[in-house]
Amino acid sequence: MKIRTSLIVLFLLFTLFSFSQKNNNDISILFYNVENLFDTKNDPQTEDDEFTTEGDRHWTYKRLNNKLLNISKVILSASGWNVPEIVALCEIENRDVLEMLFNKTPLKSHSYKIIHKESPDHRGIDVAFIYSPEHFYPIEYKHYALKEKNDSVMKSREILYVLGVLNKTDTLHFFVNHWPSRYGGLLETRSKRIEAAKLLRQKVDVLFEKYSSPKIIILGDFNDQPNDESLKDYLKAKKEDDAITDSNLCNLSFNWENNLNGTLKYQSQWDVFDQIIVSGALLNSSSGYVAQSGNATILNHSFLFEKDEKFGGLKPKRTYYGYSYLGGFSDHLPILLKLKKVN
């Protein structure tokens, strides 16, 4: 009986090892708006007062630590057996909270590296690119500030560009975005997101001119839907069922709008603000890494939700509802892209 049990255990371990080996060419890329990941200190240069120990939200180290643990749970569970090789985040206050996330939670057992810069955002929130150095080697990175129509710098998040080599196989271009919000009114703020779309499109066109069939991945919270003019008309991110050439952009999140949910919920309405957009070369390539629409998904782990008592169904379990502390994760759901190596 003991011999039989041992054989079963060995078989299961061999199966697990084989499964892991079989899929070691798959790469996972996570984007997550973590909703107000602030430290507890007051920064006199930004509007972060409510997220301090004396602020309206009574933001304490204990609450911060709980949020860090929640975010680490999302990252660790995002991609099955293996953690994502690349993680892009937005709504983080500074490098300090990133260091805490990756050095003082269970994520510390994974050797992630951080690319981050303070943005001109009035609240002090930024975007960040985190990568496993075992799988990704960054060659260069840049931050592009959004501009007002008078050419002054917009007090919003910059667009982060990262160029690097994935598993010594493919050169990839990443853009991490957190476009201006709709706070203040949809029509009143629309021009700011159009300016962000124009800037991003300009940088994408530079890559199309400089490289032959560049593999581009655009991630972000765009505060607009895939069908809104900023993304469809100015960024020119198409549906996959359109004819996509290597020099086109394809929005892999278009089909998410047809589902009954999205990446965040306002009252009874689900929206798709968090999206994954790729260049046609990443879809059409016959070598290296490729993307497919079915491999771009919204993560829907049950622990990310709570019952929506007012509007029915479920809603993301966030850290606060108004000024009431809930101890949840974020008002946004994470999104994931899996790349497959074809040869």
pLDDT in tens, 232-248: 999 999 998 778 999 99
Q: Are 343 and 287 in contact, with CB atoms under 8 Å apart?
A: yes
- What the chain holds in terms of domains, given with CATH numbers, is 25-341 (3.60.10.10)
Cα–Cα distance, 254 to 277 (Å, whole number): 9
First to last CA, the chain: 44
Q: List phi, psi (to 5°) of 113.
A: -115, 155
Q: Is the pLDDT of residue 14 over 50?
A: no
Q: Are 125 and 92 in contact, with CB atoms under 8 Å apart?
A: yes
Which pTM does this prediction carry?
Answer: 0.92
> How large is the C-alpha radius of gyration of the chain?
20
User: Average pLDDT over the chain, rounded to whole?
Assistant: 92
DSSP 241-258: TS---TTSEEETTGGGGG
- Span 276-286, mean pLDDT? 96
Give the model's pLDDT for residue 24: 57
Cα torsion 125, 127, 131, 137 to 10°: value is: -130
Give the model's pLDDT for residue 242: 75
Give the model's pLDDT for residue 2: 43
Q: What is the DSSP letter of 107?
A: G
Region of 154 please: left (phi>0), alpha (psi -120 to 50) or beta. beta
Q: What number of helices (H) and strands (E) belong to the chain?
A: 6, 20
- pLDDT category, 260, cuts 50, 70, 90? low
Q: What is the DSSP letter of 234?
A: I
Q: Are 30 and 84 in contact, with CB atoms under 8 Å apart?
A: yes
- Span 132-152, mean pLDDT? 95
What contacts 145, CB < 8 A, 6 or more positions away?
119, 120, 153, 154, 158
Q: Which residue has the higher pLDDT, 319 or 21?
A: 319
For residue 200, how many C-alpha atoms fall within 13 Å in the half-sphere facing its CB?
Answer: 35
Q: Is the pLDDT of residue 21 over 60?
A: no
Cα–Cα distance, 198 to 100 (Å, whole number): 35
- Span 82-89, mean pLDDT? 97
- pLDDT category, 312, cuts 50, 70, 90? very high
CB-based burial label for 112 (10 Å; 0-12, 13-18, 19+): buried
Q: Are 276 and 84 in contact, with CB atoms under 8 Å apart?
A: no
- pLDDT category, 1, cuts 50, 70, 90? very low
For residue 3, how many C-alpha atoms fall within 13 Å in the half-sphere facing its CB?
Answer: 0
Give the model's pLDDT for residue 20: 41
Minimum mean pLDDT range among 123-137, 157-171, 247-261, 269-283: 247-261
Helix 95-103 and helix 61-77, axial crossing angle in degrees, nearest 10: 60
Cα–Cα distance, 326 to 63 (Å, whole number): 10
- pLDDT category, 19, cuts 50, 70, 90? very low
pLDDT 10s digits, 28-68: 999 999 999 999 999 999 999 999 999 999 999 999 999 99
Give the model's pLDDT for residue 306: 97
- Span 274-301, mean pLDDT? 94
